[in-house]
Copies of this chain bind each other. A is one copy, B any other.
Amino acid sequence: VEFDGPCMKTEVPGPRSKVTQWINVNFFCDYEESKGNYLVDVDGNRMLDVYTQIASIPIGYNHPALTKVMTDPKNMGTFVNRPALGMMPPEQFSEKLVNGLMAVAPKGFSRVQTMACGSCSNENAYKAIFIWYRVRAGVLSFFFQVPGCPDLTLLSFMGGFHGRTLGCLATTHTKAIQKLDVPSFDWPIAPFPQLRYPLDQFERENAREEARCLEEAEDLIVKWNQKGRHVAGVVIEPIQAEGGDNHASFDFYRKLRGITKKHGCAFLVDEVQTGGGSTGKFWAHAHWGLDDPADIVSFSKKMLTGGYYQKDSFQPDKPFRIFNTWLGDHTKNLLLTEVIKVIKTENLLDQAKRSGKVMLEGLYDLQDKYPHLLSKARGIGTFCAIDVKDEDTRNLLLLKARNKGVVLGGCGTQSIRFRPALVFKEHHAHLFLDIFNDAIAEL
């Protein structure tokens, strides 16, 4: 049974967390004691977790189904011997892919390439796109052509986040500090629509803004192609998460997909943060209502492993073009298979829709109640966010909420993102809204 609410003993970070001087560390946790939606820290503070390790815990802490995987002796060999999955996979590898990643493959995909985190997922997806573009373009790629590094580019969007390794970082445009001092690729960057919320109340105005951004994106593709620096692909998140939970309409994405088709660019949907069910569908881009919404879909975080789904034509033509030592971590595939079973048997996608409805309605109420402080409540499923009047107030609110027993995270310059696990139920949403309300009232 889960705890029935937060229970705070000290300020957070408490005395036992404060012993560290480590940069970035918020507090130390007791992961044995944490359970379901509740994260317990080393000072015994028990907090409702609406951030879940940067949106990466799928079904709460210490779910019994996962504990069972760990204690099953027949999984021992997998946990103590890490295979080079690309060369010598374990016997159960294909079965786990079929019951795991392929069981939840987005419509239209019959192939998956496992990786270990969001960064290597995107880095390798980018490589797959470049290779595909050159092969498809009919350019003769001789094996011994050295260096054979063409001047191809990827188009990304302002406010997008796709990781921090050098390839990913070239397409990441959230905070300046992330890119400062690091050499980058000169690739085209399109504006992402700056919309008014709630989206359905500002449809006409938002449609104009989206049209402007689509036109600019298409212009960039045409111009960069003309100057010989061909745009091999376009990479975008279904909701810009790190960048501030920026939404665009499903129509925007459908049209963008059309533009990529028209100009022969691959369309890569980065579902690292949005994937895994919290929008009420397993993949956020499934909301767009297209049969064929993408060429590649990358994932990680709540999927526990990393990787990407790809259309058949993106499978490299020769061995070892997409490769590394481990190519993922099979222990995460074992756990993911159970997570997917739990999502199905506990009907957690519907749960995310129901809890999300409570969340979003509660957020609308709060911004009505505190219009000078809060604005732009938005979300799909439990993947919700709200803006605070400025960065300092946002940060203060995060701390106040934490000391009242709710763990939250910021995104963008002044947003708070809500990222509960899929086991977050309506009563957790109500509990969260009550505490959040108390914290706001103290501002």
Contact = CB atoms under 8 A, between A and B. Distances in A.
B178 A32 contact: no
A54 interface: yes
Most buried by B among A27, A42, A81, A148: A81
A86 B24 CA distance: 6
Most buried by B among A20, A147, A175: A147
Given A53-B84, A63-B80, A81-B34, A184 B147 contact: yes
A250 B116 CA distance: 35
Interface in A263-287: none
Given A56-B82, A148-B181, A26 B88 contact: yes
Most buried by B among A22, A24, A124: A24
Nearest to A325: B54
Interface string A119-163: 110011011001101110000010111111111110000000001
Contacts of A87: 24-26, 53-54
Interface in A156-185: 163-168, 170, 175-185
A183 B185 contact: yes
B77 A321 contact: no
Contacts of A318: 177
B89 A28 contact: yes
Nearest to A133: B181
A117 B120 contact: yes
Interface string A312-325: 00011011110111
Interface in A20-39: 20, 22-34, 39
B54 A183 contact: no
A363 B235 CA distance: 51
A28 B95 CA distance: 12
A183 B56 contact: no
A24 B304 contact: no
Q: What is the predominant secondary structure among interface residues of chain A facing chain B? A: loop
Contacts of A25: 86-89
Most buried by B among A79, A124, A301, A319: A79
A54 B145 CA distance: 27
Interface stretch (A66-74, A216-224, A254-262, A349-357): A66-74
B29 A88 contact: yes
Contacts of A163: 324
A76 interface: yes
A83 interface: yes
Nearest to A135: B181
B119 A324 contact: yes
Given A23-B319, A81-B34, A167-B167, A151 B183 contact: yes
A331 B84 CA distance: 18
A176 B117 contact: no
Q: Which 5 A-B pairs have the closest CB atoms?
A: A166-B167, A31-B77, A32-B77, A123-B165, A66-B80
